Amino acid sequence: MKLASILLIFMNLLSCTGEQMPQKVSQKEDQLMKSFSVIDSEKHEYSFHLPNEKKLTVLFYFATWCPDCHKEIPYLKQVVEKFKSNDAVQFMGIRTFTHKDKENDLQRFMSKFEPNFPIYTDPKSEEFPKGRLVADHAITWVPTVKLVTSQGEVFKVKAYSEYQTYIEDLEKFIKEKL
């Protein structure tokens, strides 16, 4: 038990360093992110094809029931606000792991956090009960942020426990890739 506690503290400390800031994803994961479909709040399906040759795309994968997602949203909104007038960046929220959602969870989430970027839902099926994108985009933990450059490079951002450092690093990375 003591060893597990020490290991957890050590991992938490590591997550606060900027060294983990965006890591390039595997080639397989990269290919699966090139084309995907999502559903909006009105149940309309949208298809996206990445890379968008004119934009850096920032994808925020979250779950309505996730406490860490709740903590991250206000910080991510700050980043969106800083880049809102820059047409070279687009932000998109993707609700995942909906098999754990209760009725009206998305509406409550939207009312509480008022995201300043579009929110879509990862489609479920019998084959993919946790969501198609959870499988294809290798989402094992939420919140997760992925960035797709206009050149098609895909980076995964590991969450930090210190959100201000995380946001500063995310902003810096976005600026570097523009």
Would you state the pLDDT for residue 17?
38
pLDDT digits (tens, 9 = 90+) for 28-60: 666 767 888 999 888 899 999 888 888 999 999
Q: Which residue has the higher pLDDT, 35 or 20?
A: 35
- pLDDT band at residue 175 under the 50/70/90 scheme: very high
Would you state the pLDDT for residue 74?
92
Q: What is the CATH number of the domain that holds 52?
A: 3.40.30.10
Percent of the chain with pLDDT over 70: 80
**Dihedral of alpha carbons 5, 66, 138, 77, sign:** negative
Q: Are strands 154-157 and 23-24 parallel, antiparallel or unpaired?
A: antiparallel
AA identity, residue 7: L
Give me the sheet containing 45-49, strands edge to edge: 23-24, 154-157, 144-148, 56-62, 89-95, 119-121, 35-39, 45-49
Nearest to 166, CA basis, from 133, 139, 143 = 143
* CA angle, residues 62, 138, 133, in degrees to nearest 5: 60
Instruction: State how far the Cα of 61 lies from the Cα of 125, in Å rounded to an integer.
Output: 18
Would you state the pLDDT for residue 21?
64
Q: Is the pLDDT of residue 76 over 80?
A: yes
Instruction: State how far the Cα of 153 lies from the Cα of 77, in Å rounded to an integer.
Output: 24
Residue 53: burial class (beta carbons within 10 Å; 0-12, 13-18, 19+): exposed
Would you state the pLDDT for residue 9?
35
Residues of the domain holding 7: 2-177
Would you state the pLDDT for residue 159?
64
- pLDDT band at residue 92 under the 50/70/90 scheme: very high
The most confident of the ranges 21-25, 85-89, 96-100, 137-141 is 85-89
Q: Count structural domains, the chain.
A: 1
The string of DSSP letters for 55-93 reads -EEEEEEE-TT-HHHHHHHHHHHHHHHHHTT-TTEEEEE
